[in-house]
Structure 1
Amino acid sequence: MKAIDRLFQEIRLWLKLKHDNIVPLWGVTDGAGSVPALVSPWLENGALTGFLQWKHETLSSSEKIALLRDVARGLQYLHSKSIVHGDLSGNNVLIDTNGKALLTDFGLSVLLSERSDQVLLPKPGGSARWMAPESLGLGDEGHGSPVFSTASDVYSFGRIMLQVLEGRVPYHYIARYEVIISLVLLGNHPRRPPASVISDAEWTFIQMCWLEDMVRRPRADEIVAFVEGRKL
């Protein structure tokens, strides 16, 4: 699909979304480049990854759980509308001045077919640190068609959960991008932080999000139920 077609697909999709944990689209303007620019609110605390780099040590346990609750609710809303985000990462979760998390950047989002809960996109996107192996491509040596689904969003949420609780990006101890891709495709997950950082129950749930069997991964509503069941 041509870039301009993808842009207008994103615009049509984004305009339909109304939720406290989704960054709203205010409008479209031109003159900012070769293609129209999307206009949305400025969120003072920026992306989740940067926010955690300078705030994680001062965040309480309840504030971390609140961030995860916000992300989970936003994801549940998207899935309830039959929308796959497709690029859920610490760079596509924004934090407002009150510390609320909102999902943004639906450049890889697609409406799901009524006949299938999976969709194929021509090129993988996002960051490998958060992406499911099927979204990077399956088949011999990982050279297959990338698959994006509600289940792959759930996999990415597991990475977000690890990041929020630990305060570091997944595979923070590995710098080379190609090594991370290989580890993801091989099913080698990020190592577990100390129990003082992530409880046994939380680590078990994170691992459920990363199950190779996509059907067995939790649904978005189950993620919300788990996170809301944690102590705030």
Structure 2
Amino acid sequence: MSHNSLSENNRQKKIKIELQNDTIQPSAQNNEKYLSLNFVPNNEQPVCDINRSELLRFSFLLKGAFGEVYKVEWKGQLVAAKVVSRMKRQELKDFKRELEALRKSKNCEEHIIQFFGLSEGFKTGEYILIMQYADSGTLKDYLTENKSILKLDDKISLCKDIIKGLKFLHENNIIHRDLHSKNVLIHQKRALPADFGLSKSLLESKGSSEVRGITVYLDPRLLDGKCPPEESIDIYSFGVLMWEIYSCRPPFGGRNGHDLIFGLREGLRENRQVGMPLDYVNLYEECWIPDP
């Protein structure tokens, strides 16, 4: 095993140890009276191909990097529908196969946003990905709306949820590649990574080697082209999320320009916030240390 692999394993081990001491107490509250939000597919069945006519009452939620997201009713369940238009059919099949394999993994639904199936879109070359609907939206919005009431234990619980999700993905040989606070969703007060693998599929469909993502969350080695996609790039992004979760505000005020890119490549990082526990700071700063 290489020195780099040992370094990364030790880093993940430390994250696991540091975060496992706090207790998660997720809420079981269901705010939608008429539809279930707890629908989980039969993991023994392959991901289904969903007829578009089964998707009812599209309600716009947000526009993301890979397409628009809607709240939809499907077979009496509330689900999220992401419309994407840049995936070739073969990449779509590969993406689907990857998600089918994930669903067969033990306790998949506890760690990541679930993928239920896909449908043909409304236009030629367009597809609709049907996924679990998260009752509290994105982590970014959740932090903004709840910053006055979130306690340290709540924030640590969110961090634990995310690292468990990453650990699950990495154990299944999947690198997220695009982890940020809009790609982590909150359901029943638990944080679940979403859109894993989608960045890879879309880049491959375009035949591109470009780096995609929100700059402040990306491992700076990616900006320099010095780092192939590997698990450590997700760990760097997780460190940024730890900072954001504690401060309840976007890193660097949401800036994303060329000056910031230059600064990040030269070692610029967010400063410790007033009141941050030293152990918490040490942990997220360790996530930012590049492998030697």
Q: TM-score, normalised by structure 1?
A: 0.77
- CA 1:132–1:77: 2 relative to 1, 3 Å: same
Hey, what does 1:190 align to over in structure 2? 270
Which of 86, 98, 102 is matched with 1:17 structurally? 102
Query: CA–CA distance in 2 between the matches of 1:147 and 1:170?
Result: 24
Matches within 5 A, 1:111-126: 122-126=209-213
Which of 182, 193, 211 is matched with 2:289 structurally? 211
- Identity across aligned pairs (percent)? 25
What residue ranges of structure 1 are gaps of 5+ in the alignment? 111-120, 139-143, 216-232
Q: How far apart are residue 145 of structure 1 and its match?
A: 6.5
Which structure shows the bigger proportion of residues in strand conformation? 2
Query: CA–CA distance in 2 between the matches of 1:44 and 1:32?
Result: 26
Q: How far apart are residue 201 of structure 1 and its match?
A: 1.1
Query: CA–CA distance in 2 between the matches of 1:31 and 1:187?
Result: 43
Hey, what does 1:55 align to over in structure 2? 146
CA contact (8 A) 1:83 1:109 kept: no
Which of 206, 214, 230 is matched with 1:127 structurally? 214
What residue ranges of structure 2 are gaps of 5+ in the alignment? 1-85, 202-207
Which of 202, 206, 209 is matched with 2:280 structurally? 202
Hey, what does 1:159 align to over in structure 2? 240
Which of 121, 126, 133 is matched with 1:42 structurally? 133
- CA 1:146–1:11: 2 relative to 1, 3 Å: farther
Query: CA–CA distance in 2 between the matches of 1:155 and 1:176?
Result: 17
Which of 148, 152, 175 is matched with 2:255 structurally? 175
Query: CA–CA distance in 2 between the matches of 1:31 and 1:83?
Result: 26
Residue deviations 1:82-107 (CA, integer Å, cap 9, x gap): 111101111110001x1111111121
Q: Give RMSD over aligned pairs.
A: 2.0
Q: How far apart are residue 183 of structure 1 and its match?
A: 1.9
User: How many correspondences in the alignment?
Assistant: 193
- CA 1:55–1:145: 2 relative to 1, 3 Å: same
User: Which SS does the other structure have where 1:101 is aligned?
Assistant: strand
4+ aligned runs moved over 4 Å, structure 1: none
